[in-house]
Structure formats: C-alpha cells, structure tokens
C-alpha cells in the first residue's frame, strides 16, 4: 500500500509509535510517506520506501498563530495526489485528524481518500477533553474512516468522554524485539535505575529522584534520567536538595534508546496517567522489569509481581522497596527480567502487531463508500 503518516515528530510516545510503524511497514514492502513539520526523530530517511515531506508554515504578521493545520492539510492533499496514496494514517487526534479530513475533502472530486486516526492518550484524556478542543476532537474521531486506540483503557475513555458509539479498534503499542534485546553478559552487580520520558508533569519525573533517595538508604543505586522537558530543571534541583545529585545523571534526549536500555537494570515509570506505557515495553524487551504505577492501560502490559511491579501513584516508599528488592535479590531479578522479555516477545513484538495494522487498513479500504454512491452524492 501507499500510506501517508502524520505525527508529532518530536520526542513523545505517539511520534515514536508512528515512526516505528512507518519503518516496520516499509520493511514489509509498503511505500510510506511521512508528512510533518520536521523529520521524526527516530526516522532514517535513507531507509528504502520511506519518504519525508516537510510541511512549511509561512508566517505573516497578521497571524498571531500560524495556521499549521491548514498548511498540513494542503500538504497531505498534495502528497496524496502526487503519490497516489491509498490511505492517510494520523497519530494524535489534534490537529492531525482534522487536517486529514480537510485533505480528504480537497481530493474528493477525484477519489475517496480514507484516513485512520490513532488515539494515543493525552489527545483524549487531557487536550481533547479541554473545552476549547472537545467539539472538534469528537467531530474528527466521528469523521475518521477508522479509529484505533493503543489500549482497551483508552478505547473505554474515548467512548466515555466523547460518547463515541462507532467501532474503535484496539491495536496496542509494539516493540521490535530483534533491536530491543537484553545485553549479553549483564554485570552481576545491579545498581542502575532508568527513567525515560518527555519530563512533562504527567510523568512525575521528580518521583524518580525521590525513589533513588529512598533506595540509597538501603542499597547502592544510581539513576539515569533520559529525555528532556519542563520537569527536568525541577528534578535536577530536587536531586541537589536531597543530596543525591552525584548519583543522578541527566542524559538529555536520546536518539538510540535501544542502546541505552540494556545498560540499565530497572525501569521507573511513576506516571500520573499512562494510556499504555511504551517506555516500559521497550525496557521489558531489553529484560528490565518496570516499576510502574497502576494507572490507565499499564496493567494491560505489566502483570504485577510477574514481569514488573505496579504501585499507587506517588507511593515512593512502595516503589523504592520494589527497586531495593530487584537490585539486591538475584533470583527475583532473574525471574522478573526473564518474564518481562517474554511478555514483550510473545504479546507485543512488532512481528505480531504490525499485521494487525495491515489488516485494519485493508478493512477500512474495503468498506469505502461504493463509487456510485459517492457520485450521486456529488463526490
């Protein structure tokens, strides 16, 4: 198929899923066209069958807010025409879904261009539910030819929050288990906790520093903090205040997470809310048991006590106690680490999940309105 993919190209789960999906689809023979304002961070544009089309948003003194959505819609329609795209697949509803709807209408004199919207989390739970975006988010979901969510939890939230009654398909996050794998010959001594996020308040990055501080009262430990965002400065300040700054390394944004993960032992995901928890899955594929919070769709990934731990949001004592036992009990660690890798390979490996997207695309294209109907409706 010839597929146009639009996502936020910056650090963030939805952009990462969209990029990895495009790369996996290209490897399986599809022609993929990324349409966005910048090259997605994990994208290597030299990959065969991958194309990148930049959206240029020109600014004019009259515009207080440059209309990115309109420039994106124009580019989508243009790319769809030039490269005879079969389908647009947009990640994160706002504003990508509306841009796809506009692009669909721009080309409809010639043909029907279907679009699939994948909802990732904050587009529903935070931004979409905001009063100013609610009606248009609901409208764009209803107008999509196909809608997927990354967890059962998010599907239920979408139905609850927006009163959506149409079909929503759950296709969970995935990981390439050949690329994300445990390090061979892991050192016997385990001391490294790792947190990866965009440091937005919802991630509770400061909790990681508090957990490290508590863990160090009974075990040797250090903390790697990968990523960047609004809570990085406050987390650095807290590490100094708690006297653990010498044991926390802030790594900034990381291009190759698959190289970083196998250097750590335990993954911390203390989020306030997480529709799935891609960082935990990538860690599990590398054999890192996650210590996560029992929120959103995380329980669809992590089975408490089997392949990781789930604790209450903000319960530093409980999360630190889990970290101490994983760092100090060899048998426990081996059991959870092996189970974490098994969960990734048997349930969330890209080889299992990508075919679900392919089948869904075929299904969406098959149920397009018949040509005669479109003609009689003036399309």
Beta bridge partners of 192: 222
Piece of the chain touching ligand GMT by CB under 6 A; list 12-20, 129-137, 282-290, 337-345? 12-20
- Tell whether residue 120 is a contact of ligand GMT (CB under 6 A): yes
Give the DSSP letter string of 3-16: EEEE---SSSHHHH
- Tell whether residue 277 is a contact of ligand GMT (CB under 6 A): yes
Among 73, 93, 202, 340, indicate the residue that binds ligand GMT (CB under 6 A): 202
Which residue, among 70, 67, 66, has the nearest Cα to 102 in the 3D structure? 70
| Number of Cβ within a 10 Å radius of residue 112 | 16
- Tell whether residue 121 is a contact of ligand GMT (CB under 6 A): yes
Instruction: Indicate the residue among 271 and 345 with the shorter CB distance to ligand GMT.
Output: 271
Q: How many residues bind ligand GMT (CB under 6 A)?
A: 19
Among 4, 9, 12, 308, indicate the residue that binds ligand GMT (CB under 6 A): 12
Instruction: Indicate the residue among 32 and 150 with the shorter CB distance to ligand GMT.
Output: 150
Piece of the chain touching ligand GMT by CB under 6 A; list 6-14, 93-101, 132-140, 332-340? 6-14
CB of 330 to ligand GMT, least distance (A): 30
Round to whole Å and give the CA distance between 339 and 183: 16
- Tell whether residue 173 is a contact of ligand GMT (CB under 6 A): yes
| Whether the Cβ atoms of residue 146 and residue 3 lie closer than 8 Å to each other | no
Q: Is 282 helix (H, G, I), strand (E, B) or coil?
A: helix
Which residue, among 189, 173, 195, has the nearest Cα to 292 in the 3D structure? 195
- Tell whether residue 348 is a contact of ligand GMT (CB under 6 A): no
Is 315 exposed, middle or buried (CB count within 10 Å of its CB: 0-12, 13-18, 19+)? middle
| Whether the Cβ atoms of residue 74 and residue 43 lie closer than 8 Å to each other | no
Q: Which of residues 46-85 bind ligand GMT (CB under 6 A)?
A: none
Q: Give the residues lining the site for ligand GMT (CB under 6 A).
A: 12-14, 17, 92, 120-122, 150, 173, 198, 202, 273-278, 296
């Amino acid at each position: 198929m010839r597929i146009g993919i639009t996502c936020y190209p910056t650090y963030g789960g939805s952009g990462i899923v969209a990029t990895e999906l495009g790369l996996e689809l290209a490897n399986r023979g599809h022609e993929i066209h990324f349409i966005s304002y910048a090259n997605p961070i994990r994208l290597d544009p030299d990959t065969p069958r991958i194309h990148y089309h930049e959206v240029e948003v020109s600014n004019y003194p009259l515009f207080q807010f440059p209309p990115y959505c309109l420039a994106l819609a124009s580019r989508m329609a243009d790319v769809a025409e030039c490269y005879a795209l079969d389908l647009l697949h947009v990640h994160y509803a706002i504003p990508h879904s509306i841009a796809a709807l506009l692009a669909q209408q721009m080309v409809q004199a010639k043909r029907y261009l279907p679009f699939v919207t994948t909802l990732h989390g904050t587009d529903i739970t935070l931004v979409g539910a905001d009063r100013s975006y609610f009606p248009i988010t609901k409208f764009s979901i209803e107008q999509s030819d196909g809608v997927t969510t990354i967890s059962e939890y998010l599907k239920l939230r979408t139905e609850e929050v927006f009163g959506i009654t149409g079909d929503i398909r759950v296709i969970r996050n995935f990981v390439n288990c050949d690329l994300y794998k445990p390090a061979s010959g892991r050192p016997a001594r385990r001391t490294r906790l790792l947190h990866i996020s965009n440091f937005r308040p919802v991630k509770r990055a400061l909790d990681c520093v508090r957990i490290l501080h508590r863990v160090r009262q009974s075990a040797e430990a250090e903390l790697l903090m990968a990523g960047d965002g609004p809570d990085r400065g406050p987390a650095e300040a807290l590490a100094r205040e708690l006297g653990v700054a010498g044991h926390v390394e802030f790594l900034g944004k990381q291009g190759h997470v698959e190289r970083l993960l196998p250097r750590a032992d335990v993954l911390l995901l203390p989020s306030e809310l997480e529709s799935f928890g891609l960082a935990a899955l990538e860690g599990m594929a590398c054999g890192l048991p996650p210590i996560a919070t029992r929120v959103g769709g995380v329980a669809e990934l992590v089975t408490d006590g089997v392949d990781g731990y789930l604790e209450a949001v903000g319960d530093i004592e409980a999360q630190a106690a889990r970290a101490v036992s994983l760092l100090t009990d060899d048998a426990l660690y081996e059991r959870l680490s092996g189970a974490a890798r098994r969960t990734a390979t048997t349930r969330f490996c890209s080889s299992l999940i990508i075919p679900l997207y392919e089948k869904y695309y075929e299904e969406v294209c098959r149920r397009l309105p018949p040509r005669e109907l479109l003609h009689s409706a003036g399309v």
